[in-house]
Amino acid sequence: MNKNEVFEAIRARIATARLQPGDWLSERALEREYGLSRTPLREILQRLVAAGLLEVHPARGHRVRRLSAPDVARVYEAREAVEGMQARLACLRADAAFAAALRGLRGKLTRLDAARHPARGVALGTALHDRVAAMAGNAHLLRAYEDLRNQSALLRNLLGRVGTAEEASRREHLALIEALLAGDADGAEAAARTHLRGACRRLVEASVAELRGLLNGGDA
């Protein structure tokens, strides 16, 4: 594997919760697994730090970053601004292929039991966000979106364990799709912002519930 492939492989582990916030990374284990020497591996780890996914502790090395409550709020404030504008632009620039993709996603989301299959809801939501970001056609917004998506991966595994949260996201994603298909740029931007504001609120609620469970010995 080359350096970009290893970077994506580690990023994917974080995004899918195989590596969770607070987990330490063993450089020796990664060197053996990916067949890399120390210098290229450390370049990859530094890229992950720059992407906001890892943090460095001089005495111990690298671990998956934990986001504080203010970090969560700032990430979602930025996502709301970026993805709200992307939804508006995607609506204005939509083509037939984009509309067909939206209708396909709408069908899958309509049939989805998100409470029973939250991971499927996450995957479909991600596909929708990615489609909108690409259709917006603005490279500067796309770079910001990708950076924020990386940091959101640190939180997604927590929210993805809550079926009721994914059901709320499913309904919000459907509202966004309907606005996009209707060619309603104002409505699409509003729907994207409403969804991200709701996701932020649900993350805070899930985090508080998890912390309460830890304080109560996991019986909450």
pLDDT tens digits for 15-27?
A: 777 888 889 999 9
Question: In Å, what is the CA distance from 145 to each residue of 81, 85, 132, 207, 220?
Answer: 10, 11, 11, 23, 35
Residue 48 scores a pLDDT above 90: yes
10 Å Cβ neighbour count for 61?
13
- 131 closest CA partner among 163, 156, 106: 106
Paired tokens of 86: 């992307």
- For domain 3-64, the question of CATH label 1.10.10.10 is answered with yes
What is the pTM (predicted TM-score) of this model?
0.78
Helix (H, G, I), strand (E, B) or coil at 61: strand
The one-character DSSP state at 117 is: -
For 69-215, which CATH superfamily applies? GntR ligand-binding domain-like (1.20.120.530)
pLDDT tens for each residue of 148-176 = 887 877 776 555 455 577 889 999 999 99
Model confidence at 78, in pLDDT bands (50, 70, 90)?
Answer: very high
Where along the chain do its domains lie? 3-64, 69-215
